[in-house]
Amino acid sequence: MRKQRYILPSLLPSQPDGLKLKPSPASAACGVAPLPAIADTEALAFEQRTSPDTGSLMPALARALEKFKKLVGSVGGTLELRSAYRPQSYQAHLQAVWFKWILELRNNRELGCEALRAQVGEEFRRHHLLIAQKPVTSSDHTRGLAFDATVSVPCMTRLKRRRISLDRLALLVGIWRPDILHDPVHFKLAIGRTRRRT
């Protein structure tokens, strides 16, 4: 028969009064659910892309984008294409990322949410989402009528000896920025808008 050993309470390491042990990060749970997994194969393919899909743009917009690139380059500017066509299922993923970041994690300082906060924050930045611009359900991108690009042209840009703005350059090729203030990178086909000549 084995003898049982007893440890006297006085021999246990003592804890100073007022000191409370903090739970380890592994034991702290995050009250925010993770991002939903992408189940749609087309959306999953888009998530793994390294460049925007210009091949699925409407032909008129694809032509306008090529003309715009050349025109911007001819005046000494630069154009970095961020996004073009995207399927509806991928648009839904962008919405999920935006809502998760803005409404649940951006200002969340829960101990257990640190890893999820970092993951979703990285997704938000990688997709070039804007805090002030929630991805809409029905988008010009899903219809192949828009692209997002960071465009820079030198101050005092001239075309045929006349000063010209970035938005005038865009109109020359048949595109425009419908919401410069909230979404300055969004260009769409100027359907029904008259082109101005310079």
How far are the Cα atoms of 58, 170, 180 from residue 145, in angstroms, in the given order? 6, 14, 17
Could you tell me the pTM of the whole model? 0.73
**pLDDT given for residue 170 in this prediction:** 96
Mean pLDDT, residues 75-104 taken together? 95
Position 78 confidence tier, pLDDT thresholds 50, 70, 90:
very high
| Predicted pLDDT at 160 | 79
The stretches of the chain forming alpha helices (DSSP H) are 41-47, 59-74, 88-99, 114-126, 166-173
Q: Tens of pLDDT along 24-70? A: 444 468 999 999 999 999 999 998 988 999 999 999 999 999 999 99
Write the pLDDT tens digit of every residue in 140-182.
Answer: 999 999 999 999 998 877 777 888 889 999 999 999 999 998 8
* 94 contacts 102 by C-beta, under 8 angstroms: no
Phi, psi of 97 (to 5 degrees): -65, -45
